[in-house]
Structure 1
Amino acid sequence: MSHQVRAISREEHLRFVAGRSSVSHLQVPSWGEVKREWRSASLGWFDRDGRLTGAGLVLLRPLPGLRRYLAYLPEGPVLDWTDPGLTEDLLRPMAAHLRGLGAFTVRMGPPVVTRRWSAAAVKAAIADPGTHRLAETPATWEDPRALAVGEWLRGAGWRPVEPGGGEGFAPGQPRHVCRLPLAGRSLEEIRGGLNQQWRRNIRKAEKAGVKVVRGAPDDLRTFHELYTETAERDRFVPRPLGYFQRMWAALTAEHPDRMRLYLAHHDGEVLAAATMLTVGDHVWYSYGASTARRREVQPNNALQWRMIGDAHALGARVYDFRGITDSLDEDDPLLGLLRFKTGAGGEAVEYLGEWELPLNRVLHRALGLYLSRR
């Protein structure tokens, strides 16, 4: 093996992140402080000359009653995923290191893009009654090297994880996201790429007097009230206020602009709010919330447009709307969100997905049994 994997300090990890155009916001040291129900550690990959060539944030969650762990690297680690020696030189030493920490299974999400569909391609696919998933329509762009990564992983014993989510032992990041390219485009060009509905709604918000402002830590309570209302309306379990307060404290302590909060005001009331995260030249729309009241003034479009404009002013290469469904069926409740996000001119992006490697098959099966009974 040409690389060694060992623990690195927070400072080493941050220097590595600063030396790249961007990494996922789930792969910076502060994210380990947000996920306090997990232990966290920063890992470094060192070549034969002792140079740090890769890094990753690993989250460790114990199996109930045992000091053995599920090791999870969300949207990581940050490596050269095109290296033909990937599995032998980079992933094998990682697995050995994590086994030494007590891991019984390693789960990771390679930040490798396999395919992209333009906004126009997604619109056409939705309009085609014979197309039910994005995978059924030709991609605008695809990378054969990404498919090779999947073959390397299979050959080394890694297996793809079925999409999931939630808390506890069911972590999962979206395989499909919507990203709006900003690099090399003026704000006027970006606005010109919005569909008619988006442009109309932004004008309505402006005419109605919707004002979008940046929030402070104290405004997280207002955000959370809207978020709780959104959760009740859309039938999902909301995170507690303390989670967002911890998120703000951890991320902004690492970098003052790592997390922002935006609030859309109208006639003295906050109608919508959202959080925005930044690492390098990549900006993410993280959490959104809104009330069902006065939707006709289009606060959500106004909110997103302000965030897109601020991301552009920061010099961001991409504005990431995060997860979308790959289902194109009209009865899918998430189809409207896909329309909304791609309506801004965003492209649908498919990642390689999450993969896992059992290090102790007995405990790995026990984990599966535990999850099936929850």
Structure 2
Amino acid sequence: MVRSDAHTEGLCPPGFQTFDLELTDPRWAEFAASRPDALPYHHPSWLRVLREACGYRNATVGCADTAGRLCGILPLVEKNSILTGQRLSSLPHTPAAGPLASDDSSLRALLWAAKERVDAGRARWVELKVSEPGFGPLMDGFSRHDGIPTYVLDLPEKPEDLRFGNSRHHAAIARAVRKAGRLGVTVRPASSLADVRRWYRLYVGTMRAHAIPPRPLQFFERMWDVLAPPGRLRLLLAERQSGGQVQLLAGSLFLMYGQTVIFAFNGRDRSQLQFRPNDAIHWTAIMDASASGFRRYDFGEGTGDNAGLLAFKEKWGTRPVDMYRYHYPQQPRMDRGILASGPLQRTQEYAWRLLPPAMTTRMGRWAYHLL
């Protein structure tokens, strides 16, 4: 770890003050609502989910002018890891958050405050996850590393103007959705915690197939309780009548705020994919998002390591958006080492898929809490 002291010569820009921003401060939600670049993760309700489901302590920095008007926020929580010790993160269990500021001076004040907290506090380092390629000299003292790109579909003002990639892809998606309808697939929003728990079983199976630890059920229960009532969360379920019973084929959870809808989590029955439930879900979600005034539909991260998933995102006409991670003090690039693609990784994934689902959920709860 290399600590840079270059920032100690600078101070918080004159005319601004930085302070601990409480979740209950009404200025927080008001400021986020005024910013077109705000994501669902910038709203205080998301940090409330992280606090109540994961136990993280809010450490968010606010920036205000001399009149007390909020002009910037940096969502932060304290996280303890058995690997890295205590750190400040913006944010864990979150693909991107980072600072949200009305101008460069406010942004400079937020970054100054974050570095001050590391230098004067218990946290060893601070991590910011952002979709901006860099802030130039404002990021003095931070190291920057490339993250996994996310794939975004820009939405038109009118749903009838939607086009998914080239004409071939658009026609193929439309055919898949029509096929799903002919086969009796219907898409509806979840209406209760019982729906969430029913979907969770599919989610655990999907994560197990990808050899990824699933997030605990409590995480989704708190998301539902906190985010669903104000309309910042939507769980769409694809179902079909079979043998006199309603069969759940797939479900996707979306986070919504400002101008952005984020496809966050998916669970599906792999034996039922011939009914094209995921195509039906995304078609419904995208049409509804466009009609509701959203302008950005984020399909989430994707890499060449999962060619099928990447092809699914790209066929909708998405564009890749580069993601970055900034660290202070400067951190060396993490070498995947034994986790890199290769025979050992494939062996680990095979062993993971042999574990009982109940064991994978317990291990997921441990991994997300302690790592």
TM-score, with structure 2 as normaliser = 0.74
**Aligned residue among 88, 105, 113 for 1:93:** 113
Give 3-state SS (helix, strand or coil) of 2:156's partner.
Answer: coil
Offset from partner CA, 1:188-246 (integer Å, 9 cap, x none) = 22146453332221121122121000102220111111111112222211112111101
**Aligned residue among 235, 239, 245 for 1:261:** 235
User: 1:234: which partner in 2?
Assistant: 210
Structure 2 residues without counterparts, runs of 5 or longer = 1-12, 92-96, 340-370
**1:60 and 1:69 in contact (8 A); partners too:** yes
1:46 counterpart = 2:46? no
Equivalences for residues 1-374 of structure 1 within 5 A: 1-2=13-14, 3-9=16-22, 10=24, 11-35=26-50, 36-62=54-80, 69-74=86-91, 75-80=97-102, 83=104, 89-97=109-117, 99-112=119-132, 114=133, 146=134, 149-150=135-136, 152-153=138-139, 156-161=140-145, 163=147, 175-184=148-157, 186-191=158-163, 193=165, 194-216=169-191, 217-252=193-228, 256-267=230-241, 268-325=246-303, 327=304, 332=305, 334-351=306-323, 353-358=324-329
User: 1:128: which partner in 2?
Assistant: none
Change (3 A) 1:4 1:91: same
User: Matched residues in 2 for 1:300 and 1:335: separation?
Assistant: 17
Q: Measure how far apart 1:24 and its partner are.
A: 2.0
User: 2:367: which partner in 1?
Assistant: none
- Count of aligned positions: 305
Change (3 A) 1:235 1:63: closer
**1:191 and 1:199 in contact (8 A); partners too:** no
What letter matches 1:354 in structure 2?
A: R
What letter matches 2:150 in structure 1?
A: V
User: Matched residues in 2 for 1:192 and 1:27: separation?
Assistant: 28
Q: Measure how far apart 1:294 and its partner are.
A: 2.5
Give 3-state SS (helix, strand or coil) of 1:293's partner.
Answer: helix
**2:40 and 2:258 in contact (8 A); partners too:** no
Structure 1 residues without counterparts, runs of 5 or longer = 115-145, 164-174
What letter matches 1:241 in structure 2?
A: L
Q: Measure how far apart 1:99 and its partner are.
A: 4.5
User: Matched residues in 1 for 2:203 and 2:274: separation?
Assistant: 19
Q: Measure how far apart 1:247 and its partner are.
A: 1.5
**1:29 and 1:42 in contact (8 A); partners too:** no
Give 3-state SS (helix, strand or coil) of 1:354's partner.
Answer: strand
User: Matched residues in 2 for 1:272 and 1:243: separation?
Assistant: 19
TM-score, with structure 1 as normaliser = 0.74
Give 3-state SS (helix, strand or coil) of 2:271's partner.
Answer: coil
Provide the aligned C-alpha RMSD in A. 2.9
**1:78 and 1:111 in contact (8 A); partners too:** no
User: Matched residues in 2 for 1:41 and 1:152: separation?
Assistant: 21
Change (3 A) 1:192 1:347: closer
Q: Measure how far apart 1:340 and its partner are.
A: 0.8
User: Matched residues in 2 for 1:289 and 1:309: separation?
Assistant: 21
**1:273 and 1:290 in contact (8 A); partners too:** yes
What letter matches 2:181 in structure 1?
A: E
Change (3 A) 1:258 1:97: same
Q: Measure how far apart 1:107 and its partner are.
A: 1.0
